Amino acid sequence: KSEMAGGSWVVDDGVGPVNEGFEDVERQRDAEWINTGLEKKRKLFAVAFRMAELGVLVAAVFVWYWVFHNPVCNWLFRCGCTWNWEGGWDACNYHDPSALHKCPFCMSKPPITWFTSYFIMALQVLLFYVCLHLTTKILDAKKSRSVSGAKKVIARRFLWVDLSASHATMISHLILTSLLSLSVSLLSFFVLNILVGFLFWVFSDGYPHFIF
């Protein structure tokens, strides 16, 4: 049965009114989701994925720090720090009593030294979610541009994933946005160390080296 409601035609097919402007999101299928519990299952899947993703992110950030912190420290300040499996900071000029200047990173004390570790790692996690939000918006914009005419794309958005997409598309978007965001997060470690290292160098007691 069809009738005019609010200036637009609606169709009553037994599962509720369906506005013609929302054909692309298949409102009839949405109604079926509610009845079958499919949307709830997808939300639970998205929650489980994001929780696992957070665990992987935190672990990756800590491992990245453990691997690269000392080499980056030496690159910034020429202090003698090296890979952890080759001695770490054992050869740092911080341990040399005859050194006129000591590494700004290594000589700092808590809580100042936390700016070289936990602060940077926290920013990496934050950047991950900023990138996740931006990549999701880009995917949404690309999807919207692919729709012609007056049709609209309405995403049933939940935890940065479109629940109205097909199951395969939803999973591929989850994986793609997660990997892109993780790459940005890990690579930002080097940029953040340069910025923090520069501040430590500026406020050091005349330390002679910073990158060059």
Identify residue 146 by its one-letter amino acid code: S
Give the model's pLDDT for residue 4.
Answer: 43
Give the model's pLDDT for residue 94.
Answer: 93
pLDDT band at 45 (very low <50, low <70, confident <90, very high): confident
93 vs 6: which has the higher pLDDT: 93
Give the tokens for residue 114: 């936390």
* Residue entry with tokens 């453990």: 66
pLDDT over 60 (residue 72): yes
Alpha helices in 78-166 (DSSP H): 104-107, 118-145
pLDDT over 60 (residue 116): yes
